[in-house]
C-alpha cells in the first residue's frame, strides 16, 4: 500500500518572510512527517486590505529566496494570481485540485487561526485540510470549541519575530540580520523596501 503524499501549506502575507515562518514550517514538517511545505503568499489579504502592503511580486520573490535551499520547501503563485482578496478556502480548493493525491495540512499561527475560525465557513475548511495551529509568543489560542481531530495545536521554538517588527526596524534604520535570512536583508536593501 502506497502512502498518500502529505503536503503542508503555509499561507501568509510574508511582508517580509522571516525566521519565525521558516522555523514553524520546518518544525511542523518534522512532527507531522510532511513530504513538502508550500508557502503561499497572499494576493490582497482579506485582513490587511486597508494597510499598505508590498507588491505581491516582491513578497513572492522573497519567499523564493528564503526557501531556495530547502528541498522540501516550495512557493506557489496561486493566491497572487487569483484576482481579489485572498481567502483560505480558495487557497485550499485550488491546492486540492492541483494535488488530488495528497493529504493537505494547513499551517497557521495561533493568532491567524483564531481569526479564521471566527468568520469563515469552517465546515468546508476542515473538509479540505487538517489544520495545525502553531503557538507564537504573545498569542494564546482561546479554544472556541475546536472540532475533534480537525485541528492540532503545536508549540514551535519560541520565536517572537513578526513581519511588522522587521518593517519597523528597517524604517528606523535598525538591523534585521538574523531575524530574516541573509538574502532577504539584501533583497530589501536592493529594492529599498519599507523605507517609505
Ligand atoms: P505581520 O506582522 O505583518 O502580521 P506576520 O509576522 O504575522 O506579519 P504573516 O505573513 O502575517 O506574518 O504570517 C503568516 C503566518 O505565519 C500566519 O499564520 C502567522 O500566524 C504565522 N507566523 C508569523 N510569525 C510567526 C512566528 N514568529 N512563529 C510562528 N508562526 C508565525
Ligand atoms: Mg500576521
pLDDT tens-digit profile of 17-35? 999 999 999 999 999 999 9
ipTM: 0.97
- In angstroms, what is the span from residue 165 Cα to ligand 2's centroid? 11
- In angstroms, what is the span from residue 114 Cα to ligand 2's centroid? 12
Flag whether 78 is in a domain: yes
Q: Could you give the C-alpha distances from 119 to 98, 113, 144, 178, in angstroms and in order?
A: 26, 11, 12, 35
**Which residue has the CA at smallest separation from atom 6 of ligand 1?**
162
Flag whether 35 is in a domain: yes
- In angstroms, what is the span from residue 1 Cα to ligand 2's centroid? 40
**Which residue has the CA at smallest separation from atom 7 of ligand 1?**
162
Flag whether 92 is in a domain: yes
- The pLDDT-based confidence of 121 (bands split at 50, 70, 90) is confident
More confident residue, 28 or 121: 28
Flag whether 123 is in a domain: yes
DSSP 189: H
**pLDDT of 117:** 77
- The pLDDT-based confidence of 146 (bands split at 50, 70, 90) is low
Q: Is 17 in the pocket of ligand 1 (CB under 6 A)?
A: no
Flag whether 144 is in a domain: yes
For 176, other C-beta atoms within 10 Å of its C-beta total: 20
Flag whether 80 is in a domain: yes
* Ligand number nearest to the C-alpha of 131: 1
Task: Give the CATH number for residue 79.
Answer: 3.40.50.620
> Directed axis angle between helix 56-67 and helix 182-191, to 10°?
150
Flag whether 168 is in a domain: no
- The pLDDT-based confidence of 122 (bands split at 50, 70, 90) is confident
Say which range, 46-55, 139-148, 162-171, has the weakest mean pLDDT.
139-148
Q: Is 136 in the pocket of ligand 1 (CB under 6 A)?
A: yes
Its domain, for residue 145, covers: 5-160
**pLDDT of 147:** 63
Flag whether 172 is in a domain: no
Q: What is the mean pLDDT of residues 164-193?
A: 98
Contact 163, 14 (CB under 8 A): yes
| Domains: count for the chain | 1
**pLDDT of 32:** 97
**pLDDT of 143:** 56
Q: Is 134 in the pocket of ligand 1 (CB under 6 A)?
A: yes
Q: Closest ligand 1 atom to the C-alpha of 113?
A: 18
**pLDDT of 138:** 64
Contact 132, 154 (CB under 8 A): yes
Say which range, 52-56, 73-77, 163-167, 182-186, has the weakest mean pLDDT.
52-56
Amino acid at each position: 500500500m502506497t502512502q498518500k503524499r502529505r503536503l503542508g501549506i503555509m499561507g501568509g502575507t510574508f511582508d517580509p518572510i522571516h525566521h519565525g515562518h521558516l522555523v514553524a514550517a520546518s518544525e511542523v514538517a518534522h512532527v507531522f512527517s510532511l513530504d513538502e511545505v508550500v508557502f503561499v503568499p497572499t494576493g490582497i489579504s482579506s485582513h490587511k486590505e486597508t494597510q499598505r502592503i508590498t507588491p505581491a511580486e516582491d513578497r513572492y520573490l522573497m519567499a523564493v529566496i528564503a526557501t531556495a535551499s530547502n528541498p522540501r520547501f516550495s512557493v506557489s503563485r496561486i493566491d497572487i494570481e487569483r484576482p481579489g482578496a485572498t481567502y483560505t478556502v480558495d487557497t485550499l480548493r485550488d491546492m486540492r485540485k492541483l494535488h488530488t493525491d495528497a493529504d493537505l495540512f494547513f499551517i497557521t499561527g495561533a493568532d491567524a487561526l483564531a481569526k479564521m475560525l471566527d468568520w469563515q465557513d469552517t465546515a468546508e475548511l476542515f473538509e479540505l485540510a487538517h489544520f495545525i495551529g502553531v503557538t507564537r509568543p504573545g498569542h494564546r489560542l482561546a479554544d472556541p470549541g475546536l472540532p475533534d481531530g480537525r485541528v492540532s495545536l503545536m508549540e514551535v521554538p519560541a520565536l517572537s519575530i513578526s513581519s511588522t517588527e522587521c518593517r519597523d526596524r528597517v524604517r528606523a534604520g535598525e538591523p534585521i540580520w538574523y531575524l530574516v535570512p541573509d538574502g532577504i536583508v539584501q533583497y530589501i536593501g536592493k529594492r529599498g523596501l519599507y523605507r517609505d
